[in-house]
Structure 1
């Protein structure tokens, strides 16, 4: 009996071992197939297999990494977070890149401190990574984002569907063209293929009109049946004359699709011309390749440079922003990577260049809120882009935000976000112009607080609004000081500032705006209520009138030309009345203060309707004058 018992036990152990071995082999076969789909960017198909494997109870670093990645690359960061969380719960050695991706998803679910902790761990493991350098140099990136936030209003457009709608481009003065997966048929009525990345139809190009309020009309039509294929068409950019378009399409030429060595269909940039009735001569650009993708073209203001995203050799990360020269003979220069000020080891994509040659792009590598955020970089005098800043909320969010385009005339434009679940087109309007490089003079006379004694050759500290010393200097031999500070920031001088005595010549027309260096009285866009930022300057006028009881003041307000003449006239009148009311409410006799608005009738810079001007030229026109009309 004992012998039989031993044999039975050994047989049971052998059977159990055989079953476990077979069970372990099944995930390996399925994982191999899922990995093939993953390498071909078929994230929907790969995800289905990974989830089936996970449901068997199988656990591994690779399974959790790849499942999280499928959701991550589809922009579903909430689900990616769940799988990266399982990955880190294994307690095993994990590739540094997943510390970065996990941090991105932690931001999405609101665990900001944990996200920063994971970024610090990532930095410790990846000293040479550009993202590490950016994180370590700007650990207070959230404070910077907060400063850049709330400078836009946004609105979801009614053109959106339950499918993917994204990547707008201006076409002429009153139309936009965008990509959508809403239609399952191409222009030749052939069924469009399904993109295995998203499990939706491949996208085509659609067009709609821009309304007078800068929103979009609900009526949408296909842009060009001649450009439409069974594969992706997206992200166009048009020359100003409307006769040339550059756009993104899958590697599909003359009815034949080409694949790379991994059986994947990559992206290329194509060019087409308009012959007066239809788009013709569709050709791919010479810097494309069957071995890497090029996508999302954008033109410089002078149309002599084409910007795009690519993962070609030399790319820092998953995709970088490049540019090539567009020669007058129709040829193109060599592709140039924009460098580490713009590109990182993450994704940089969807470039757009404004009329001022400001570069906008989407990135997950620069410090942001999570997912893709939109960044802006100003062109340096040498033509390069070396520093980018996050444009903040509400355009950016914890989800993917990308494909922003900007129109200077309307101080707004459109962008794409998947914050609602699918890619949708939103409009935005600037509330306040963002200029991170703006500097202004902070100057005055340094005196003792009570005696008024001039303090010559005296050390001075400049404090920010938090009371922190940000600069130091010394007054000159006459007690004067001058600092260059960031625009629209609140600073305090220690020990004290006393303004120079104002001397008025009664025989000349004196503008107190110039005397007191009042460059601009701040109003919200389209409004006339005096903002708190303006009170400091208006208080200078009140103080002067109190010290000079015989002086009379004439308030004159002006606007730029970016609205109708009637609207600007009414607006400037209301703003003049608001300023007068503020001065009177602070104790000045109403008989001593008069004024009116002049609208756009006295433009200093030549920027009438229909002329494109810089924001600085428009700001010059949006001025206030405070004329001494009598003594």
Structure 2
């Protein structure tokens, strides 16, 4: 941001940061303290060329270029400063160096400086995102998908044009153009005319401006007027001006002319003489007003006592009698140790410019949602709206997502230019990830084949689970659409789970799935009774010992019970009718209990076997009872062990 906005921007930045001039640099320091940075920079460079590269001179030299937004020279001299005095420099100078580096596109070195100073900031009151070592966040910002189409306006001039604001069906803005005055007065900083208010018509699309005229001869003075806001009815305005009354500039005890906020009313088609708001002061600056849509709350920028950084955003409530509540700082969610400026408020959001939140360099535009507990964490609006120069004074029609902002980026027509924009509807995109565990023991399963399937059955992606049972897809999913995840693995039953994406942008859907062994095919229903069905287990003649072939079958029971950890069974052992009834009952009971003991020995809890009872020949499955002649095969039908499921879940 260049000199023409000095009273709007740089005066805020400098307050409280001026160093006492040293006698040997008297002329340069006087020019610097009087904001004549171009002249001061040349003088400081001459001092360096004569061999004086003291910390004071290098800091002032870098600052002279930085405050005049000559980032190439600022980065150069801050670089020399850091090479000699890095260990004794305050975080503010790291902050300025990072901004200067970003301003020339050297993000690699900027990140390195951020990394160096992250640790130092742990014990510093100077808190800005620009000095946090967060490579990932900066890279994400640099690679973010653009949301804006921007256009430089035809009305821009080689001097400063900035600070647009809606006024009825027109736009009021500030400019250094001096075409309507017979006598041109220039501001010594950069030899441009002082700022005045102008008004322009909008076209049907609201994307360009035309027919520029002076806004008000009464309100435009010989000094700066800039950044206006209007109540909904359009007959009351608030704006920023130099502390100027009775044709005299007001100054504080150190001779600084601060900014003040004024108000004026429209009466009989003319704006009345400006009146100061009650919370102005000669000791600090107040300006850059913005009204809430209902006109009840007035937001503004100040460095008044209680500020967190160089300039903060405050708000007051406007009472029915026109008086104001006490100013309230918006707090650390919005304000940083850097500069927060140029607020604009809609029904849903606060927009503002900041160099304290993470950005591309210079001022960037941020938006903050209005939540239940106030304004939420700001979001950088990204490129191309933001650049490595100053981008600020953003206003928008939320319904059409069209609006205007200001920037001194390269490629403009002069100093600050006004740009129109169309905010593009951001695509609502989501992704999906998940995990697969075995139902029996909640352990992750590796190498499960996972498919992402659309609502019409098309396979959109295919992957497999890692050793932790996790999977993810890179596919971009549409919002508010149905999808399905299918899983398969040899030896296990296939499974699937559907999910619906929401309308939340960049949301990651999580889909957990369970998989079970194919052993649950052994669960059958016979005559209305749920059982685990295995091949017959055999015992040696007149014995109840578990043979190895029987153990292999019983292990299937164990696996099924592990797959269903809440399953409870009862064991029934049966014989054929050969032999005495008592003998058969006694032997089958021993075999049932031996079977139960084996299952318990394999890790199944005792209470999960409700009973193990031998019934001998009491429950035959055919006609082969005592005295009935049957073949061996017919008798074998009655020799069996049954595993009846009492409870499955």
TM over 0.5: yes
Of 465, 473, 477 in structure 1, the residue corresponding to residue 474 of structure 2 is 465
Which of residues 17, 38, 60 in structure 1 aligns to 2:54?
60
Match of 1:371 among 337, 359, 362: 362
Q: Contact conserved, 1:462 with 1:491, CA < 8 A, in 2?
A: no
What aligned pairs does 1:413-452 form with structure 2 within 5 A after superposition? Answer: 413-420=403-410, 422-433=415-426
Q: Retained in 1: the 8 A contact 2:432–2:509?
A: no
**CA 1:133 to 1:375, structure 2 compared with 1: closer, same or farther past 3 Å?**
closer
The aligned residue for residue 305 of structure 2 is 313
Q: Counterpart of 2:222 in 1: which secondary structure?
A: coil
Q: Is the 8 A contact 2:118 2:133 kept in 1?
A: no
State how far apart, in whole Å, the 2-side matches of 1:211 and 1:415 are: 16
CA contact (8 A) 2:362 2:390 kept: yes
CA deviation map 1:316-370 (0-9, x unaligned): 111111111111110011111111111111111111112x231111111111111
SS across alignment from 1:220: strand
1:183 Cα deviation after fit: 1.2
Corresponding residue for residue 470 of structure 1:
none
Residue equivalent to 1:527: none
| Counterpart in the other structure of 1:606 | none
User: Is the CA contact (8 Å cut-off) linking 1:148 and 1:391 kept in structure 2?
Assistant: no
CA offset at residue 479 of structure 1? 7.8
The answer to whether the Cα contact below 8 Å between 1:153 and 1:428 also exists between their aligned partners in 2 is: yes
Hey, what does 2:351 align to over in structure 1? 360
Q: Measure, in 2, the Cα distance between the counterparts of 1:300 and 1:373.
A: 21
2: CA distance, partners of 1:106 / 1:247: 34
1:241 aligns with 2:233: yes
- The SS at the match of 2:325 is coil
Which residue matches 1:404? 394
Structure 1 residues 318-333: aligned runs within 5 Å: 318-333=310-325
Q: Tell me which of 383, 386, 391 is aligned to 1:393.
A: 383
Q: Which region of structure 1 is more displaced relative to structure 2, 31-40 or 339-348? A: 31-40
Runs of 5+ unmatched residues, structure 2: 1-20, 438-447, 454-467, 477-486, 488-494, 515-649
Task: State TM-score, norm by structure 1.
Answer: 0.64
Is contact 1:123-1:132 (8 Å) kept? Answer: no
For 2:504, the equivalent position in structure 1 comes to 487
Q: Distance in 1 between matches of 2:225 and 2:498?
A: 59
1:435-484 alpha-carbon deviations (Å, 9 max, x no partner): 9xx999999x999969x9xxxxxx996747399xxxxxxx9xx9867698
Preserved contact between residue 111 and residue 133 of structure 2 (Cα < 8 Å): no
Aligned to 1:169: 165
**Any conservation in 2 of the 1:166–1:425 contact (CA below 8 Å)?**
yes
2 CA distance for matches of 1:482 and 1:331?
Answer: 55
Query: Counterparts of 2:175 and 2:433 in 1: how far apart (Å)?
Result: 51
Deviation at 1:391, TM superposition (A): 0.5
1:377 and 1:385 in contact (8 A); partners too: yes
Quote the Cα distance in structure 2 between the aligned partners of 1:380 and 1:40.
43
Q: 1:193 to 1:422 in 2, by over 3 A?
A: closer
Query: Residue 495 and residue 277 in structure 1: after superposition, are their counterparts in 2 closer, same or farther (change >3 A)?
Result: closer
- In structure 1, the partner of 2:28 is 34
| Distance change (3 Å), C-alpha of 1:479 and 1:115 | same
Q: Which deviations, in whole Å up to 9, do the C-alpha atoms of 1:11-32 show, x marking residues without a partner?
A: xxxxxxxxxxxxxxxx964622
CA deviation after TM superposition for structure 1 residue 135, in Å: 5.3
Contact kept? 1:441, 1:484, Cα under 8 Å: no
Q: Pick closer, same or farther for the CA change 1:140–1:489 going to 2, 3 Å.
A: same
Displacement of 1:213: 2.8
CA deviation string 1:150-169 (max 9, x = no partner): 11100001111111111111
- Verify: 1:266 aligned to 2:283, yes or no: no
Confirm or deny: 8 A CA contact 2:497 2:513 kept in the other structure: no
CA contact (8 A) 2:430 2:506 kept: no
SS of the equivalent of 1:361 reads strand
Match runs of 1:528-567 below 5 Å: none
Look up the SS of the partner of 1:352 in the other structure. strand
Give the Cα–Cα distance (whole angstroms) in 2 for the partners of residues 110 and 463 of structure 1: 35
- The aligned length equals 448
Render the CA deviation track for 1:215-249: whole Å, top value 9, x for unaligned. Answer: 32343111111101010000111122110111110
Task: Give the TM-score taking structure 2 as reference length.
Answer: 0.63
Q: Kindly indicate whether the alpha-carbon contact (under 8 Å) linking 1:463 and 1:493 is maintained by their aligned counterparts in 2.
A: no
Tell me how far apart the structure 2 counterparts of residues 485 and 72 of structure 1 sit (CA, whole Å): 46
Partners in 2 of 1:464 and 1:416 — Cα distance? 41
429 and 119 in structure 1: CA distance in 2 versus 1, 3 angstrom threshold:
same
Q: Which residue of 1 aligns with 2:534?
A: none
What's the offset of the Cα at 1:50? 2.3
| Aligned match for 1:82, one of 73, 76, 88 | 76
Determine which structure has more spread, i.e. the larger CA radius of gyration: 2
Aligned equivalents of 1:104 and 1:481: distance in 2? 48
* Kept in 2: contact 1:122–1:132 (CA 8 A): no
* Alignment CA distance shift 1:156-1:218 (3 Å): same
1:180 aligns with 2:197: no
Query: Is 1:160 aligned with 2:156?
Result: yes
Give the structure 1 partner of residue 138 of structure 2.
142
1:102 aligns with 2:97: yes
1:349–1:449: structure 2 CA closer, same or farther, 3 Å change rule?
Answer: closer
What is the aligned partner in structure 2 of residue 46 from structure 1?
40
Distance 1:66 1:486 in 2: 51
SS for the counterpart of 1:219 is: strand
Question: Does residue 340 of structure 1 match 2:354?
Answer: no
Which structure's residues are more often strand, by fraction? 2
**Residues 216 and 33 (structure 1 numbering): CA distance in 2 closer, same or farther, change over 3 Å?**
same
Query: RMSD between aligned alpha carbons?
Result: 3.5
